[in-house]
Amino acid sequence: MNIGKRCAAELLGTFWLVFGGCGSAVLAAKVIAMEGATPLNIGIGLVGVSLAFGLTVLTMAYAIGHISGCHLNPAVSVGLMIAKRFPSSDLIPYVISQVVGGFLGAAVLYVIASGTKGFDLAGGFALNGYDQYSPGGYNLVSAFVAELVLTFFFLLIILGATDKRAPGGFAPIAIGLGLTLIHLIGIPVTNLSVNPARSTGPALITALFGGNMAAIGQVWLFWLAPILGAFLAGVVYPQIADDK
């Protein structure tokens, strides 16, 4: 498959991840309905958002895995490259496609979300962050460690599930459930990224249309920590998986 088609698949897949995962947080996490005079929250909450992110990867893995490998994430591409599962010559085109896809997914989400009264980008827009942008008020160190460790284990899951010795056909399920699990752990800390493209899209939209430059000033962490975690997994997995 030529690089253009693979990059197009990565763009569409990352669009789906950001639109579906962040969309569940922005549009569906908290939904207030009235039962008589009593307001009820019928939103999907943290568990629902975690599952939505996992489902975006699971569905795209079956849809485009055979085209591009379904990375949808610069950190995943780096980890696979370090583990010698992905050619270094394709890294930059993949990363550009993923970032563009993430931005477009966030842009379409903004168009939809801004169509209701009372919408305000200052309310969050599924931003990743630490300190004031952390749902639980976690500091930079907590955020960095969480993103590094969770990305490390996410890449271990990916590398193990896609190993030629692993049971065939089940990798998307393991990877999707793995992403669900790490969101259940990490949402309170950073809103969970483990994906630089996922972090960059909403931050850019918030800066462009909300004038919030502070949020985009934290995006560096969500490039550095996931890529470092993925790099370490790319080094460690071949060492423990080598049966020689």
Domains and CATH numbers, the chain: 3-241 (1.20.1080.10)
Nearest to 218 by CA among 239, 237, 243, 190: 190
Distance in angstroms between the alpha carbons of the first and the last residue of the chain? 32
Q: Using CA atoms, how far apart are residues 179 and 174, in angstroms rounded to an integer?
A: 9
Which phi and psi (to 5°) does residue 65 adopt?
-55, -35
Q: What is the pLDDT of residue 142?
A: 98
What are the per-10-residue average pLDDT scores of the chain (244 residues)? 95 98 93 67 90 98 97 98 97 98 98 90 89 95 98 98 91 97 98 98 94 89 98 96 72
CA atoms within 13 A on the CB side of 76: 24
Which residue type occupies 222? F
Q: What is the pLDDT of residue 53?
A: 98
Dmax of the chain from CA atoms?
A: 68
| pTM score | 0.94
Q: What is the pLDDT of residue 41?
A: 75
Q: What is the pLDDT of residue 168?
A: 83
Q: What is the pLDDT of residue 38?
A: 66
